[in-house]
Structure 1
Amino acid sequence: MMDYSKFPNRQIACIDMMSFYASCMASLHSLDVRKVPIAIVGNLKQRGSVVLAASPPMKKRFKVKTGTRLYEIPHHPEIRLFEPRMAYFLEMSMSITRILHRYVPAEAIHVYSVDESFIDLTGTERLWGDPAQTVKKIQKEILDTLNLPSTAGVGPNMLMAKLALDLEAKKTGFAKWTFEDVPKKLWPVSPLREMWGIGGRTEKSLNDMGIFCVGDLANTDLSKLEMKFGVMGNQLYHHAWGIDLSELGAPMPEGQVSYGKSQILMRDYNTIAEVRAVLLEMCEDVAKRARDAGKAARTISLGIGYSKNALGGGFQRSRTITAATNETMKIYAVCKELLSENYDAQPVRQVSLSITKLEDEQSVQLSLFDKDNWRERAIGSVMDNIRNRFGSTAILRAISLTDAGTAIKRSELVGGHKG
């Protein structure tokens, strides 16, 4: 058995708002998100617009979930449809954080996402009493003041708090896990992708090794995992034992590991030229974010989702290049190659782009044989400075002025949707 006395044993809580966007709109209109079927739709004037969020009754009674099209929602007098109000959602998120500040100092709060936060309650026992009861008190205050129901998990570290939330509290409202609970509550988890931090690809690799549940992973020889996965193998092993050394504010995996962007298009794009137009805009955005952070990437991934009119489908392809880059046109060139090699003339409704295998920009050597390198970097820097100062549409590529361009319309949105 693992000697847990060697590892930190704190009082970490992970608090997650139930159906946050739907809950916010329910609160605004004095509705109960747990009883009323609610859907947040990108644009109620466009029949092909998608559902961005749905309340539990909407999912259970009418089988409407994220990604459902507006025209697929049944006509029923109890159903309430709303367009997103991102500025209001952000305001509500900040209100939640202000409530958390009443119980712990700022350094003990990590806002993980707009609707989920970690808080460290270690040492607050003298102020508020038992940490588990304190979390329930916080949940009640959020519900009473903002009309937002929540679920919460408590554990000795961020990983255990998150697992308690995802694997138990989302069914019961609250759960507290200790290291003693690991064999009984964590090890039976299967399939492995239900474990926080394990994706489909890693799950398949583990399955190929004969590992099908978290208990199998915990009882696999550590050296075998490290030989297969490197440093990640060590992390997988210790996570299977409920051990996490991450500091609050640095959730696993630590630091930014990719930059990406995804769009569900408002109409079918029927030609490769139209797809290339929106793809160039996305490359511009992703490359700028990498440049702003001083990062460059070696792997570019492109995802294309075909329209339902084409019976769905699509592809996801990646390519690793020799030298890391954050130049828009170099990333775009790789995307064009992937598109040309895999696109089969179907109408496109979704485009996604990500860049991974990041390196510090300063570590990237400029090729002596590429005379345009310095010029392209200088142009990119000037364009970034203009956008940072005057807004994302202060300077645009001509492609954004075509019918296929989406940059101008999206600049009027908050978080990709109406403010």
Structure 2
Amino acid sequence: MIDYSKFPNKNIACIDMKSFFASCAAVDRGIDVLKHPIAVVGNLNQKGSIVLAASPSMKKRFRVKTGTRLYEIPQHPDIILIEPRMEFFIKVSMEISRLLNQYVPTEAIHVYSVDECFFDLSGTERLWGPIEQTIKRIQDELLEQFQLPSAVGVGPNMLMSKLALDLDAKKTGYAKWTFDDVQTKLWPVSPLSEMWGIGSRTEKSLNDIGIYTVGDLAHTDFKKLEKKFGIMGNQYYHHAWGIDLSELGAPLVEGQVSYGKGQTLYRDYVTRESVLVILEICEDVSRRAREAGKEGRTVHLGIGYSKHSFGGGFNRSISIEEATNDTLKIYKTCMALFDKFHDGRPVRKITISITNLEDETSMQLSLFDEHKLRNRKLGTVMDDIRNKYGSTAILRAVSLMEDGTAIGRSKLVGGHK
């Protein structure tokens, strides 16, 4: 058994705006998100574009949810399709943070995503009364000011508040979990992928060793879990007991540990030449590293295949002799990985990152690469031009080809209109 008296016991709230994108779009159009079937679609001109958010009615009546493709949405006169206005959504999110700031100080707020954030209400009872009343007041103000319905989970730490939200409050509007609820509310959870922090792959690995519920996980020897999953095994074990030592707003790891970018393509990319969009992604990754004065020694490439080819994909990495933030070096490394592991199926998603970071000042000039310093200066000049005149002020030729995406994506915010 765990002695919970040794662990922090706060009042951490996790708030989620119900169908946030759909709600914002509905308010912008002057319609009720709870009554009308609404879907926010990335691009209404592309049949393969995905649904970013769906209203409750859309989910219930037409079984359309986040991730549904535009062409899968039935033709029905009641359905309202809306393209996203990401800049507007972000502004609304910032206003919500300002509202929360009226109840707790800035340092007690941790924005988790555009539509979700944590805030610490510990000690606010002396100002605002019981926690439940404060949450109710905040939810009422969100409805009054923004016409946005919300759900709130409260727990003794970030993990428990998130679990209370996802597993309970999203059905009821509000839920508070304590350590006393771990055995009755958390342990029965199955499948394991419903547990925050456990994905489908980890779930399968846990199932393979006979772990099917969170309770099973809590009663597995954590040394066995550490042996199989490393440090994450220790975390899985303690999370199964409701233990989380994360500080509100603290970074998961001290300092930046990687630079990367993932992109879901507009359509299936079939030929090797069309996947030259990899070069555009390498340019973005390299640019971010250069601006931070960092370079990486390990290059990662992730490829997701089209669902029309039964999905799947691969994630591979390779460490190179010298750390770099040179676009072309990273690109050539990625293409070497692509040629080695790609099985010929159409590509729909690409993810690239560099890790094992070093300070750029540690760069050593290679006797066999006389152009290294020149390329570094050239990359910096290109970055400066883009920063001053826009991301499309200077482009590589691949971006002007039919399969290039840089020009189109330069007009997007967060990957959307």
When normalised by structure 1's length, the TM-score is 0.90
Q: What is the aligned partner in structure 2 of residue 337 from structure 1?
A: 336
- Quick one: structure 1 residues 84 and 352, their matched pair in 2 at CA, closer, same or farther if it must change by over 3 Å? same
**2:154 is equivalent to residue 154 of structure 1:** yes
Where do 1:53-68 residues align within 5 Å? 53-68=53-68
- The letter for the 2-side match of 1:326 is N
Where do 1:308-347 residues align within 5 Å? 308=308, 311-313=309-311, 315-323=313-321, 324-347=323-346
Contact 1:108–1:120 under 8 Å retained in 2? yes
1: CA distance, partners of 2:112 / 2:164: 16
Contact 1:298–1:325 under 8 Å retained in 2? no
- The letter for the 1-side match of 2:285 is V
- Quick one: structure 1 residues 354 and 319, their matched pair in 2 at CA, closer, same or farther if it must change by over 3 Å? same
Contact 1:268–1:307 under 8 Å retained in 2? no
**2:238 is equivalent to residue 238 of structure 1:** yes
Contact 2:259–2:355 under 8 Å retained in 1? no
After TM superposition, give the deviation of residue 385 of structure 1 in Å: 3.1
2: CA distance, partners of 1:221 / 1:364: 43
Q: What is the aligned partner in structure 2 of residue 300 from structure 1?
A: 300
Contact 1:317–1:338 under 8 Å retained in 2? no
Contact 1:158–1:251 under 8 Å retained in 2? no
Measured against aligned partners, the alpha-carbon deviations of 1:185-244 in whole angstroms (never above 9, x if no partner) come to: 111222222211122333333333332222222222233333333332322222121111
- Quick one: structure 1 residues 119 and 373, their matched pair in 2 at CA, closer, same or farther if it must change by over 3 Å? same
Of 339-348 and 408-417, the range deviating more from structure 2 = 339-348
CA RMSD across the alignment: 2.5
Where do 1:136-285 residues align within 5 Å? 136-250=136-250, 252=252, 258-276=258-276, 278-285=277-284
2: CA distance, partners of 1:375 / 1:271: 33
Contact 1:262–1:351 under 8 Å retained in 2? yes
Of 367-376 and 156-165, the range deviating more from structure 2 = 367-376
- The letter for the 1-side match of 2:85 is R
Contact 1:400–1:408 under 8 Å retained in 2? yes
Q: What is the aligned partner in structure 2 of residue 133 from structure 1?
A: 133
After TM superposition, give the deviation of residue 86 of structure 1 in Å: 1.1
**2:416 is equivalent to residue 417 of structure 1:** yes
Q: Which runs of 5+ in 2 are unaligned?
A: none
- Quick one: structure 1 residues 22 and 251, their matched pair in 2 at CA, closer, same or farther if it must change by over 3 Å? farther
Q: What is the aligned partner in structure 2 of residue 73 from structure 1?
A: 73
2: CA distance, partners of 1:212 / 1:413: 41
- Quick one: structure 1 residues 126 and 327, their matched pair in 2 at CA, closer, same or farther if it must change by over 3 Å? same
Contact 2:299–2:334 under 8 Å retained in 1? no
- Quick one: structure 1 residues 319 and 343, their matched pair in 2 at CA, closer, same or farther if it must change by over 3 Å? same
Of 282-291 and 35-44, the range deviating more from structure 2 = 282-291
Q: What is the aligned partner in structure 1 of residue 287 from structure 2?
A: 288
Contact 1:319–1:334 under 8 Å retained in 2? no
Q: What is the aligned partner in structure 1 of residue 14 from structure 2?
A: 14
After TM superposition, give the deviation of residue 61 of structure 1 in Å: 1.3
**2:111 is equivalent to residue 111 of structure 1:** yes
After TM superposition, give the deviation of residue 35 of structure 1 in Å: 2.1
Aligned length: 414
- Quick one: structure 1 residues 220 and 299, their matched pair in 2 at CA, closer, same or farther if it must change by over 3 Å? farther
After TM superposition, give the deviation of residue 131 of structure 1 in Å: 1.5
- Find the residue that maps to 2:316 and give its secondary structure: strand
Q: What is the aligned partner in structure 2 of residue 353 from structure 1?
A: 351
Q: What is the aligned partner in structure 2 of residue 378 from structure 1?
A: 377
2: CA distance, partners of 1:234 / 1:17: 32
Q: What is the aligned partner in structure 2 of residue 401 from structure 1?
A: 400
- Quick one: structure 1 residues 305 and 402, their matched pair in 2 at CA, closer, same or farther if it must change by over 3 Å? same
Measured against aligned partners, the alpha-carbon deviations of 1:111-162 in whole angstroms (never above 9, x if no partner) come to: 1111111101111101111113211221121111101111111011111111
- The letter for the 2-side match of 1:109 is I
After TM superposition, give the deviation of residue 314 of structure 1 in Å: 5.2
Of 98-107 and 68-77, the range deviating more from structure 2 = 68-77
Contact 1:307–1:347 under 8 Å retained in 2? no
- Find the residue that maps to 2:303 and give its secondary structure: strand
Q: What is the aligned partner in structure 1 of residue 387 from structure 2?
A: 388
Measured against aligned partners, the alpha-carbon deviations of 1:35-86 in whole angstroms (never above 9, x if no partner) come to: 2110112222333333222112212211222333323322211110111111
Measured against aligned partners, the alpha-carbon deviations of 1:318-368 in whole angstroms (never above 9, x if no partner) come to: 1232455433223322321233234455554x2221326543445976584
Percent of paired sites with the same residue: 62
Contact 1:10–1:157 under 8 Å retained in 2? yes
